[in-house]
Structure 1
Amino acid sequence: MHPVLKTVLQRLGLGLLTLFVVSVLIFASLEMLPGGFAQAILGQGATPETVAAFNHQLGLDRPATVRYFEWIWNVLHGDFGYSYAGAGGSIKQSVSGIIAPRLYNTFFLAIMTAIIAVPLALFLGIMAALYRNSLYDRAVNAVTLTTIATPEFFIAYLLMFFFAIKLKWFPSLSTVSDSTSIGEHMYRAALPAITLTLVIVAHMMRMTRAALINLLASPYMEMARLKGVSQRDAIVQHALPNAWAPIATVVAFNLAYLVVGVVVVEVVFVYPGIGQLMVDSVSSRNMPVVQACALIFAATYILLNLSADIVSIITNPRLLHPK
C-alpha cells in the first residue's frame, strides 16, 4: 500500500474514533446535568407520577448505555430524535427539521466569511513576507495583534455601534427567514461576516507570513536568489508551494472556528444559526437539540482538521516520493 494512502486511512480511522469518544462525552455530560428533561418540560408543578409517566413515554427510564447506543444508531441513519416543546411537552418536532434551516444559515455565514477572509489573509500574508520589516509589515502586524487580543463580542458591538447605529449602513440585528432572498440574506449577514473576518484573517495572515519567512531562510531559497530570481518570484514560485501544508492547517482550523465558534457572534446579532439554536436549547433544557448541535459541531471540527491533515500529508514530498 502506498504510504500516502496508508497514512490517510490511519487519519480517517483516528477521526472516526475521536468522533465516537466525543459522542460519548456529549451524551454523558448531558446525563450528568442537574435536574431532568421531563421536569424542565413539565414544569416545577408536575407530580412525581406525571414525571415518571413522561420519562417512561420517552424511554428516559431505561439504562443510559441502552439509550446512548440507540441514539447513536439513529444518528447514523440521519435521525436525531424529537424535540418536545410547549406546556407539558405538547409540541413534538423532529430535531432534524429544527436544525436544518439553522444549519443552512450557519454554513451560509461561514462560506460568506471564508470567501472574503481566506484570499484576503493569503494576500496580506504574502505581502507582509515580501516586504518584511517594512512600514506595511509593521502596520499589518500591529492591527492583527490588536484584533487577536480583542474578544469577538467586543468587535461585534463596535461594528454594530458604528455601522448600524451611527452610519446606519447595516441592520443591527441579522434576522433572516426562509423567505429571505440571497441578496437580502447577504446584506443582513454582513456585520456578522465582517466580525468573523476580522477575527480569522489575523490568525491566517500571521501564519502565512511566518511560514513564508521560515522558508525564505532555506538553502534552496538562497540558491534561487543567487541565481538572480527576484524576491517576488522566489516567494510565489518556490516558497509558497512548499508552505501550503502549514497554511492549509491554519486555514482549516479557522474554517472550523467559523462553524464551531460562531455561537457568540450569532447571539450578539441574533442571527438564526445553529449556535443561537444551541444557546436557546440549553436555556430551555431541550436536550435532544443540544445533543444534535454539539455532535454536529464536533463532527465539523474533526472533519476540517482531518482535511488539513490530509492536505499536509499529500503535500509532503517524502511521502509522495518514497525511496
Structure 2
Amino acid sequence: MAGGSTSSGVKAALILTAKRFASSLLTLFLVSVVVFTIAQLLPGDAAQEALGQSATVEQVAALRHEMGLDRPAHERYASWLSGMVSGDPGQSLVANMPVSEVISSRLPNSLLLAALTALVAVPVALSIGIGSAMNRGGRLDRALNISTLSMVAVPEFLVATLAVLIFSVKLRWLPSIALVSDDMSWGEYLRGAAMPIFSLSIVVIAQMARMTRAAVIDQMDRPYVEMAVLKGVHPVRVVLRHIMPNAVAPIVNAMALSLSYLLGGAIIVETIFNYPGLASLMVNAVTSRDMPLLQACAMIFCAAYLILMLIADVTAILANPRLRAQ
C-alpha cells in the first residue's frame, strides 16, 4: 500500500514537472518573438553604426545587403530561431565572428560573479531571515526589518555609486573599476571584483532575507510548531528540524529569483564597474545595434531565469506532498 502511494506520488511529480517544462518552452518561444520584435524596433542598424553618419545611402544599402539586414523580418526571425535551436546563434555584425565565440569569452565571468555573490549573499540572507523570524516583534526583528527594507528601496546604481565613494575614493581600499583578467590569481580577482560582488550582494541579501523571514513566520504559526514548543523543544531545533523542511519551497523560490537577478539584473552593476561580463556585452550590443549578439544575450538571460524557476518548482514539488496531490 505504501509502495503504491509512493509510486503514484512520483508519477504525479513527474507529470507536474513535465507540464512546468512544457510551459517553460512555450514561454521561451514567446520571449524569442518579443526579443526579436523589440530588437527590430530599435532606431538604426549595424550597417549605419559601422559606416557612420557620413556614409552615403548607397554605401549603407550595400552593407545592409551584405549583412542580410534587407531580408524580410519573418525570414530573418525563422533563420535566427532555427540557429538558436541548433546551437548556432549566428554571426556578430560588429565583431565579424560567431556570436557563440563572443559570448563564450564573457559568460564565464558572469557565472563566476554570480556564484561568488551567491556564496556571500545566501548564507547571510538566510541567517538574517531566520534570526528576524525567531525574534518576531522584538528589537532585533525591527532593526533587521528596517535595514532590509532600506536596502531593498535603494537602487543598484546608488549602491554601486556609494560603494565607489566609500571604498575607492574615501578609504582607497578597492579599485573603482573591476579590472579582471584570465591570468589573475584568485586574490587579485577577488580584489578586482569585490565592488561588483558587494553591490549585488546588498540587494540580493535584502530581498532574500525578507522572503525567508516571511516563509519561516508562516510556518511558525502552524499547529505542529506549537506542539513542538509545548514539548519543550529548543527554538533553534524547532526551526532547523521542523520549520525549515516545510519552508524550503518558498525559500528555494527566493533563491532562484535572486540568482536569476544576478544573471540578468546585473546590467547596471557590470556597466558601472566596467566588469567584462555578459550583461555589459549586451549593453555594447545595443549601442552598436549588433542584433544577433543582442538577441542571443537576451535569450540566455531568459533561459537562465526559466531554468532557475523550473528548478524551484521541482524542488517545491518534491518537498511538498500537497503539490503532488494537486
Shared fold (TM-score, shorter chain, > 0.5) = yes
Query: How far did 1:218 drift?
Result: 0.6
Contact 2:45 2:290 survives alignment (8 Å) = no
Query: How far did 1:177 drift?
Result: 2.2
Instruction: Describe the superposition over 1:225-245 as per-residue Cα deviations: whole angstroms up to 9, x where unpaired.
Output: 222222222111111110000
Instruction: Describe the superposition over 1:41-84 as per-residue Cα deviations: whole angstroms up to 9, x where unpaired.
Output: 22223333322322222222222112111111112232222223
Query: Is 2:42 the partner of 1:38?
Result: no
RMSD value, Cα: 1.7
Instruction: Describe the superposition over 1:286-323 as per-residue Cα deviations: whole angstroms up to 9, x where unpaired.
Output: 22221111111111111111211111111111255x59
* Counterpart mapping for 1:246-261 below 5 A: 246-261=250-265
Partner Cα distance (1:151, 1:308) in 2:
26
Partner Cα distance (2:275, 2:248) in 1:
34
* Counterpart mapping for 1:2-81 below 5 A: 2-81=11-90
Query: Is 2:160 the partner of 1:156?
Result: yes
Tell me the TM-score normalized by structure 1. 0.93
Query: Is 2:242 the partner of 1:233?
Result: no
Partner Cα distance (2:168, 2:162) in 1:
10
Name the residue aligned to 2:224: 220
Query: Is 2:271 the partner of 1:267?
Result: yes
Name the residue aligned to 2:280: 276
Structure 1 range deviating more: 52-61 or 243-252: 52-61
- Code of the residue aligned with 1:113 in structure 2: it is T
Partner Cα distance (2:259, 2:51) in 1:
40
Partner Cα distance (2:280, 2:185) in 1:
21
Partner Cα distance (1:80, 1:15) in 2:
20
**Partner SS for 2:116:** helix
Contact 2:129 2:209 survives alignment (8 Å) = yes
**Partner SS for 1:244:** helix
Partner Cα distance (2:282, 2:185) in 1:
25
Query: Is 2:322 the partner of 1:285?
Result: no
Instruction: Describe the superposition over 1:190-237 as per-residue Cα deviations: whole angstroms up to 9, x where unpaired.
Output: 111011111111111111111111111111111112222222221111
* Counterpart mapping for 1:73-222 below 5 A: 73-85=82-94, 92-222=96-226
- Code of the residue aligned with 1:18 in structure 2: it is T
Contact 2:260 2:305 survives alignment (8 Å) = yes
Query: How far did 1:30 drift?
Result: 1.2
Name the residue aligned to 2:4: none
Query: Is 2:318 the partner of 1:314?
Result: yes
Contact 1:101 1:178 survives alignment (8 Å) = no
Contact 2:46 2:288 survives alignment (8 Å) = no
**Partner SS for 1:84:** coil
**Partner SS for 2:105:** helix
Instruction: Describe the superposition over 1:18-43 as per-residue Cα deviations: whole angstroms up to 9, x where unpaired.
Output: 01110111111111222333222222
Structure 1 range deviating more: 3-12 or 92-101: 92-101
Partner Cα distance (1:188, 1:225) in 2:
48
Partner Cα distance (1:79, 1:231) in 2:
54
Contact 1:95 1:288 survives alignment (8 Å) = yes
- Code of the residue aligned with 1:312 in structure 2: it is A
Structure 1 range deviating more: 15-24 or 308-317: 308-317
Contact 2:44 2:289 survives alignment (8 Å) = no
Structure 1 range deviating more: 249-258 or 306-315: 306-315
Contact 1:83 1:92 survives alignment (8 Å) = yes
Name the residue aligned to 1:299: 303
Query: How far did 1:246 drift?
Result: 0.6
**Partner SS for 2:93:** strand
Contact 1:249 1:305 survives alignment (8 Å) = yes
| Cα distance change on mapping 1:303 and 1:58 into 2, 3 Å | same
Contact 1:114 1:255 survives alignment (8 Å) = yes
- Code of the residue aligned with 2:310 in structure 1: it is L
**Partner SS for 1:242:** helix
